[in-house]
Structure 1
């Protein structure tokens, strides 16, 4: 890989020539020389310099974006070539949407580490849109996301698991004093605490609203699942959450499943990649996902998705 490209990316991320030099194990004058030659090659200034820091200008942002893709592709190519003669080992970058990444993926990674200790996984968790974008830009080897992807071009998408979504409330919520099954229409006037747009969990909630022809009067948006659970426990409203995400709260009676007709809502999880060529480490990880597709093993034994037990 072109060393000038690597030096440029490091300086851009460290925003400082001295820190970049330390990371690269080079002298600061050498780093400055690489940047000067790289800017001459590109024919344009890429970094704005001050006495304390450097930052990308408009041209620099464009070059940095593509440089990251080039480095990601080069690294993947190198790993594929190494795999021809070596056993499964080396880095594996995994992205996952919040529900899968926080509540299921740790168990998968534990199995991977036990069986293949020479594979070094790194994990990034974000919403579905963020993970899909990182995979498409070759910043991640593989992504696990829920819901539908807006831009499926140049991506391999493999559905591999299903997840049940249920309505949850605090045990003392007024809804829980009723003994009958509740319709979604009954919940239209209730405050909902939901994930942000772009997340698969929010997409599932919007699908449920659309299927039942309701438009909740009040929606509180929160950017991750844990504070949503805290808000629901505090009585701020109800939510639609994955069965995977609420097991501990159900066991400790911090949350309860509201018996709603037509639920649980079932959604699909998919594996996404960008290249038909896969390192041994990636092949092994994907096979592990496929072989653990019955993800009910990660649920509590006594909890039933319908909320009837």
Structure 2
């Protein structure tokens, strides 16, 4: 199937009307309609239903859209590969990271790549680990650094490059701050601050708590800085990576407690599409990540 048909289809999913698709592609609305009918006739299914709101996907259309996006993205990736190959050090690299890896890895990695390849275009998206995995699966990102989600996508490759153990973070004024040995039951008597519900850390901690605690003993916040500020009031607890609270620990604003629980240790993973063909920039990025991971492990 020709790519211009797939482009027309995907644009119609987004615009929901023929005229903006036609304008985007520089063709007529009847031609867009012809492309859609051509696909439907080829597969013997209806891809859209129409109503006052425009074109809406059928169940078959949803499935077709899933694969059409990947085909178009693969075409873009192939074009990018040869463009980068022809022009040498020019090109682009699209990185993604969840919260902690973005904090401890990405500034250094981006600095190294931009120094070695000053003409390359670099982009970074910081989202939750499941969101980064989804973008990698659609090949909308080249490499991702995430905290493990334990729900590995079969179209992606996962490499463990390190680990991080969550600690209990609290104010020195909290009633548990002076307690030497803190048990799970001690923790579960308190309000616990969680990061946004779609984050891997949230699922990780909720699994650790379940089935001991109903949800009203937790507060979800969309910002680590907000969590740290809330902790200073001395009424709540949070599980955070020590990397996130280094400054607060040095200044004495917060203290940490290690619960010596192996289930609070998580993998840090480098993730990328199985279909990806490495070029020299890709290999440089991987080596930079491996080397930095080794340095961090040595420091810890």
Q: Give the TM-score taking structure 2 as reference length.
A: 0.78
2:188 maps to which residue? 188
Aligned CA distance change for structure 1 residues 44 and 154 (closer, same or farther; 3 Å): closer
The aligned runs of 1:127-166 (5 Å cut-off) are 127-151=128-152, 153-166=154-167
Question: Which of 219, 222, 232 lines up with 2:220 in the alignment?
Answer: 222
Q: Are 1:47 and 1:54, in contact at CA under 8 Å, matched by a contact in 2?
A: yes
Distance 1:30 1:110 in 2: 47
Q: Are 1:90 and 1:281, in contact at CA under 8 Å, matched by a contact in 2?
A: no
Which has the larger displacement, 166-175 or 36-45?
36-45
Give the Å deviation of 1:98: 2.7
Aligned CA distance change for structure 1 residues 23 and 169 (closer, same or farther; 3 Å): farther
1:12 maps to which residue? 13
- CA RMSD, Structure 1 to Structure 2 (Å): 3.6
Give the Å deviation of 1:159: 1.4
Higher helix fraction: Structure 1 or Structure 2?
2
Q: Are 2:167 and 2:259, in contact at CA under 8 Å, matched by a contact in 1?
A: no
Aligned CA distance change for structure 1 residues 51 and 204 (closer, same or farther; 3 Å): closer
Q: Are 1:69 and 1:139, in contact at CA under 8 Å, matched by a contact in 2?
A: no
Aligned CA distance change for structure 1 residues 40 and 231 (closer, same or farther; 3 Å): farther
2:238 maps to which residue? 239
Distance 1:43 1:292 in 2: 52
The size of the alignment, in residue pairs, is: 294
Aligned CA distance change for structure 1 residues 267 and 37 (closer, same or farther; 3 Å): same
Aligned CA distance change for structure 1 residues 295 and 71 (closer, same or farther; 3 Å): farther
Q: Give the TM-score taking structure 1 as reference length.
A: 0.76
1:289 maps to which residue? 289
Structure 2 portions without partners, runs of 5+: none
Give the Å deviation of 1:46: 1.8
Q: Are 1:194 and 1:219, in contact at CA under 8 Å, matched by a contact in 2?
A: no
Distance 2:139 2:75 in 1: 10
2:278 maps to which residue? 278
